[in-house]
Amino acid sequence: MRPVIGLPVCQQDGKQQFVTQTYLNAVTDSGGLPLLLPLLPDQISSDTYLKLCDGFLFCGGGDITPLLFGQEPLTSRGTTDLAMDRFHLDLMTQALESQKPILAICRGMQVMNVALGGSLFQDLSLRPLSSLSHMQPSLLRSDPSHTITLQKHSMLSDILGDTAYVNSFHHQCIDRPGRNLRVTAQASDGVIEAIEQNRHPFAIGVQWHPECLYHSQPSMKKLFTGLVNASAGIVP
Ligand code: MN
């Protein structure tokens, strides 16, 4: 039986809740069964979602409400959704505690960081250092945009090696990493591009979008097969 990978919906517009197709493809192509997890009123669902799923994939989406990491709003860029934020943070907190495998992409990585008490730069322009353009203008989301350097002896360097080419669709980034989080990849401007939680069997956050890259860069698929295998109880 395929391991069940829970995907909390990443966006809603009042009439629809959805997950982008590329995330479903990445899980299916890697041997998992994607299960979409809707946002329901009053967080009645997280306990059940946790029992139903063997692992979790947290997807990209909007910005996290700054109040949730202790800041006043400093930029009008991006959109926020407080109910979605609370849903994701609650489920992430429980998933981390459960030790079930988690791959967190883009906003998902930021959710992992905030769930563990970390903070974000609300916009890259608010960093004290100058930043690369992390919102790539290419027509195809599968085009690489910038390089990253990986920390040795990390789960991610075991998967990708010392350096990698990644795509980039974010205007925010991690400022202060949360509890027990190790920074395992950075761009050349120092922007944090990946995190892993210490003493967790598989909790990886990446700022880029591997679900758009794995056809052209097969090594990126190992992030998803790693998630699915860990969710099946196979130790990497
Ligand atoms: Mn980037």
- In DSSP notation, 135-201 reads B---S-TTS--EEEEEPTTSHHHHHH-SEEEE--B-S-EESS--TTEEEEEEETT--EEEEEETT-S
pLDDT class of 236 with cuts at 50, 70, 90: low
* Mean pLDDT, rounded, for 216-236: 93
Q: How sure is the predictor about 220, in pLDDT bands with cuts at 50, 70 and 90?
A: very high
> Is the model's pLDDT at 43 over the cut of 80?
no
* 169: Cβ contacts below 8 Å, ≥ 6 apart: 60, 106, 134, 135, 136, 141, 208, 209
SS3 129: coil
Q: In the structure encoding, which two tokens stand for residue 146, read together?
A: 């910038």
Q: What separation in Å is there between the alpha carbon of 35 and the centre of ligand 1?
A: 28
Which residues are marked as active site? 106, 209, 211
- CA max distance for the chain: 49
Angle at alpha carbon of residue 155, lines to 36 and 96, rounded to 5°: 45
Q: How far is the CA of 167 from the centre of ligand 1 (A)?
A: 7
Express each pLDDT in 134-188 by its tens digit.
Answer: 999 999 999 999 999 999 999 999 999 999 999 999 999 999 999 999 999 999 9
pLDDT for 32 beyond 70: yes
Can you give the pLDDT at residue 44?
74
Mean per-residue pLDDT over the chain, rounded = 95
